[in-house]
Structures are given as C-alpha cells and as structure tokens.
C-alpha cells in the first residue's frame, strides 16, 4: 500500500516537473534607450531579470554614448585610453568588419553622426566645407590598439561610435548568460535585434517577424514576412524609423563614411541572419551603407562565406516596395499551412 502511494506521488511529482518546464519565463524591461523582451524555458523557473538588468547596466557604463560617465565617452573625450573587456572586444570586431566590408562599416563616424543630429547634440549646419573638415576624423587607420595592455591611441578629435554593433553584442552577452545558467531554449530581443536558440518544448522553432518599412517613424509596425530560427540571430537595419527631414527630403541616420552624408539610395531595410547578433548587426549596417546593388555584388563575391548568405532586402522601386531574399534566407521563411491562404 505504502509502495503504491510512493509511486503515485513520484509520478505526480514528475508530471508537475514536466508541466513547469513547459511554462516559459517571460522578462521585459528597458535598456540602451529601447526595450527588451526575453522568453526562456527553465525547469527551475528562475527569474534572471536582476542578473540581466545588471549586465545591461554594466554594458551601458562601458559602451553607451548616452551615459555621460561611460568609459566610451571618456575615451572619446581624451580622458582615458584604457579599454575594458567589452570595449576591447567591440573595437577588435569593428576593425575586422571595417576591413571585411571595405570600409562600409566604420566605428569612427561618431563625430559625423553627432553633427548630423543623431547623437546627443542638435543637428549642425553641415555645408560641404564642414563635411570636409569632419571627414578627416573618419577611418580606422586613425586608431590603434596595443593588444598586450589594451590601450587605445587615436588621433585627436576622432570619436568612436559602437551603436551599429553594440546592441547586437549585448544580445550575445545575454545569450551567453543564459547558457551559463544551463538554459538552452530561449528567444532574446533587444530593440528588435534577436537571437534564438533551441526550440519550444513541443519542438517548434522560434518565429520572428521582419518589419515592413513604415511610412514614417510614428507608423504602427507591420510584418512583411516571418522566419523560423534555431541557433541563429537576425538583425534588421533600416532608414525608415530614424531620420530627419529637410526641404521635404528624409535623411537617414545611416552615415556613409566616405561622403560623410546620410545614405541616399533605394534600399529601405536589410535583415541579416547570422550565428552572432553582433556580426549580423554590423553587416546590416554595412549593407545599408552600400545600397542594394553593391550589397548584392558583395554577396556574390563571397560565395563560400556563410555569414553573408542569408540576407533579406526591402527597397523602393519607383514608389513600390520590393523585396529580395537570398536563397539561404528563403529557406528560413515560415510557410503557412496548406489550408491557409
């Protein structure tokens, strides 16, 4: 009798454990001037929000341009030349991506971004003479890193801006934290930059929507297409949310390091899928700088490089929205059920 009661109790306990492991833990909050949303499956149902918030706060104190006392602000101001681990990694990644993209990705556009009004200053009067004077501060050849001491040296006036890679890297850091906690099935979204690993308890993959370019910064978001991800990240860079208008013309927050001006072409957004969010972040920005034709040539020139093969473009064709997906990206698009039209 007692043995039967014990077995019944054990079965109930196991079923309860299965039930709880199927329940997602959902966290949300604010960081980096945006919001984050995290879903994960954990048998212990742990609330990791304090650790995640602490991680994001420390990250901002290191790499944010919006925090007056951040290490990056002090380095830009010439008050410090010692990098911490975060800035050391971000700088190395940025230099590598600058070389890889032929200069389309450049972390030294900080002064240009700020003078165009996309930083913490008001937009200045940027005539051609002013732009010429600002372009002298752009180029990764104007910074160097001592690998042994992690000290940076740069030409006076050069301002580093990691906004095109930092948010993606923070997503990777959260993913690493979850992995260290033994959590392997999760979706992390920081400001629309996403990483998905594992799957849901029923075996379904994570579904992520790709936003359709909006008419203006105030328009409600609409989904252009959806993709299924497992052990991959996706980052979208676009020109339709952050811009300023002058003379009836919209000027994107994406700055071309060569011209010093906001990009002016038909490409409205680029979504890049990669195993790392920091790399997808950097590549999406580089493609936005290149424009559609140069981006497609770049992809064709790297046929054996998987990190640039899964890309989705949305562009303007004489007032009509058009899309182009690489073959690798098409494989990720979620197909509706056979009975759904």
Q: Assign residue 94 the CATH number of its domain.
A: 1.10.3980.10
CA distance 290 to 287: 5
pLDDT in tens, 17-29: 445 468 999 999 9
Q: In terms of domains, do 264 and 324 share one?
A: yes
Q: In terms of domains, do 202 and 142 share one?
A: no
Q: What is the mean pLDDT of residues 112-128?
A: 69
Q: In terms of domains, do 220 and 305 share one?
A: yes
Q: How confident is the model at residue 261 (pLDDT cuts 50, 70, 90)?
A: confident
Q: 23 lies in a domain?
A: no
Q: 244 lies in a domain?
A: yes
Q: How confident is the model at residue 145 (pLDDT cuts 50, 70, 90)?
A: very high
Q: How confident is the model at residue 115 (pLDDT cuts 50, 70, 90)?
A: confident
Tell me the sheet residues that pair with 228: 207
Query: Which tokens in the block code for residue 96?
Result: 């590598």
Q: In terms of domains, do 82 and 139 share one?
A: yes
Q: In terms of domains, do 109 and 218 share one?
A: no
pLDDT in tens, 43-61: 999 999 999 999 999 999 9
Q: In terms of domains, do 212 and 141 share one?
A: no
Q: 45 lies in a domain?
A: no
Q: 58 lies in a domain?
A: no
- Measuring CA to CA, how many Å separate 79 from each of 134, 152, 318? 21, 12, 49
Q: 103 lies in a domain?
A: yes
Q: In terms of domains, do 141 and 206 share one?
A: no
Using the 3D structure, point to which of 122, 138, 154 is the last residue of a domain: 154
CATH number at residue 228: 3.10.520.10
Give the model's pLDDT for residue 3. 43
Q: pTM for this one?
A: 0.88
- How many folded domains does the chain comprise? 2
Mean pLDDT of the chain: 87
CA distance 38 to 271: 20
Task: Name the residue range of residue 135's domain.
Answer: 67-154
Q: In terms of domains, do 205 and 324 share one?
A: yes
Instruction: Classify residue 205 by burial, with Cβ atoms within 10 Å: 0-12, 13-18, 19+.
Output: middle
Using the 3D structure, point to which of 122, 154, 186 is the last residue of a domain: 154
Contact 40, 26 (CB under 8 A): no
pLDDT in tens, 197-249: 999 999 999 999 999 987 666 677 789 999 999 999 999 998 655 544 554 44
Using the 3D structure, point to which of 139, 154, 169 is the last residue of a domain: 154
Q: In terms of domains, do 146 and 80 share one?
A: yes
Q: How confident is the model at residue 2 (pLDDT cuts 50, 70, 90)?
A: very low
Other Cβ atoms within 10 Å of 210 Cβ, number: 20
Higher pLDDT, 248 or 85: 85
Those residues whose C-beta lies under 8 Å from the C-beta of residue 174, and which sit 6 or more positions away, are 36, 38, 52, 55, 56, 188, 190, 195
Q: 107 lies in a domain?
A: yes
Q: In terms of domains, do 303 and 213 share one?
A: yes
Q: In terms of domains, do 204 and 322 share one?
A: yes
Q: 217 lies in a domain?
A: yes
Query: Which tokens in the block code for residue 311?
Result: 């890309």
Q: In terms of domains, do 206 and 270 share one?
A: yes
Q: 222 lies in a domain?
A: yes
């Amino acid at each position: 009798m007692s043995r039967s009661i014990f077995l019944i109790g054990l079965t109930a306990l196991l079923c309860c454990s299965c039930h709880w492991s199927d329940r997602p833990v959902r966290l949300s909050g604010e960081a980096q001037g945006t919001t984050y949303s995290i879903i994960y499956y954990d048998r212990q149902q742990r609330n990791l929000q304090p650790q995640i918030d602490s991680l994001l706060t420390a990250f901002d104190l290191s790499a944010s341009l919006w925090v007056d006392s951040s290490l990056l602000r002090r380095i830009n101001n010439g008050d410090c030349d010692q990098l911490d681990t975060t800035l050391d990694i971000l700088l190395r990644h940025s230099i590598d991506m600058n070389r890889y993209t032929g200069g389309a990705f450049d972390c030294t556009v900080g002064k240009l971004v700020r003078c165009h009004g996309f930083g913490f200053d008001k937009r200045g009067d940027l005539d051609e003479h002013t732009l010429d004077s600002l372009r002298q501060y752009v180029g990764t050849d104007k910074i160097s890193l001592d690998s042994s001491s992690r000290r940076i040296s740069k030409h006076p006036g050069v301002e580093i801006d990691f906004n095109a890679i930092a948010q993606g890297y923070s997503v990777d850091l959260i993913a690493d934290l979850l992995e260290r906690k033994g959590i392997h099935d999760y979706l992390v979204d920081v400001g629309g930059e996403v990483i998905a690993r594992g799957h849901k308890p029923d075996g379904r993959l994570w579904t992520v929507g790709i936003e359709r370019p909006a008419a203006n910064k105030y328009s409600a978001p609409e989904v252009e297409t959806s993709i299924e991800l497992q052990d991959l990240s996706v980052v979208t860079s676009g020109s339709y949310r952050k811009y300023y208008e002058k003379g009836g013309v919209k000027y994107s927050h994406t700055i071309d390091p060569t011209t010093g001006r906001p990009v002016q072409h038909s490409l409205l957004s680029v979504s890049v899928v990669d195993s790392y969010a920091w790399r997808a972040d950097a590549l999406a920005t580089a493609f936005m700088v290149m424009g559609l034709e140069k981006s497609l040539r770049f992809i064709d020139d790297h046929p054996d490089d998987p990190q640039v093969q899964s890309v989705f473009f949305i562009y303007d064709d004489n007032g009509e929205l058009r899309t182009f997906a690489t073959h690798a990206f098409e494989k990720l698009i979620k197909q509706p059920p056979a009975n759904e039209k």
